[in-house]
Amino acid sequence: MASSGAGDSGVTDPLVSDTPANELVEALSVAGQTIATAESLTAGLLAATIAGVPGASAVLRGGLIVYVADLKVSLAQVDPRVIDTDGAVSAAAAAQLATGARQQCAADWGVGLTGVAGPDSQDGWPVGTVFLGVAGPAGVTVRQLALPGGRWAVRQGAVRAAIAGVIGQLPRG
């Protein structure tokens, strides 16, 4: 029989257990700030991981799954010239995904993830290439990552890096 959730207090969400998602939700809660995502290669995995933390509803505004280029443009407001010039897998696309998530979801923080999970390279980028954009009150930062492993490992590594990246930019104290 399926559980209603009322008796699940001792169960840990498997997506959360391997990430600092609890720390992120706590820090955002303390700061009174919110977060939103625009995800390509992770296809909602980041938002799902954050949502796995009890109390996440106080900080998670929403997320955009923009797996294909036209949705990056229409939903996350990525400039089509960025897609044409730099590509969907690029620092510029990650920056605009983060900004788009922040603006479209009216959040304090926006995270953009784009990259190549595999099994094949894409547009000259090898498997494991990830661009992580974080848009916050002080502006936008982008990091290029080279993550090892297969599709799941790359996607999970991107989520861990994104959560840590936001935590690293939150105000202390």
Does 9 or 120 have the greater pLDDT score? Answer: 120
Cβ neighbours of 58 (radius 10 Å): 11
pLDDT given for residue 12 in this prediction: 78
Asked whether residue 8 carries a pLDDT value surpassing 60, the answer given is: no
Q: Which domain holds residue 53?
A: 32-169
In a domain, 3, yes or no: no
In a domain, 67, yes or no: yes
For the stretch 130-158, pLDDT in tens is 999 999 999 999 999 999 999 999 999 99
Round to the nearest angstrom and report the end-to-end CA distance of the chain: 45
In a domain, 57, yes or no: yes
In a domain, 137, yes or no: yes
Count the domains in the chain: 1
For the stretch 49-96, pLDDT in tens is 999 999 999 999 999 999 999 999 999 999 999 999 999 999 999 999
Q: How far apart are CA 26 and CA 133, in angstroms?
A: 21
pLDDT given for residue 172 in this prediction: 78
Asked whether residue 3 carries a pLDDT value surpassing 80, the answer given is: no
pLDDT given for residue 131 in this prediction: 98
The CATH number assigned to the domain holding 128 equals: 3.90.950.20
Q: Identify whether the C-beta of residue 72 lies closer than 8 Å to the C-beta of residue 88.
A: yes
In a domain, 17, yes or no: no
Q: Identify whether the C-beta of residue 56 lies closer than 8 Å to the C-beta of residue 39.
A: no
In a domain, 21, yes or no: no
Residue 1 pLDDT level (bands cut at 50, 70, 90): very low
Residue 10 pLDDT level (bands cut at 50, 70, 90): low
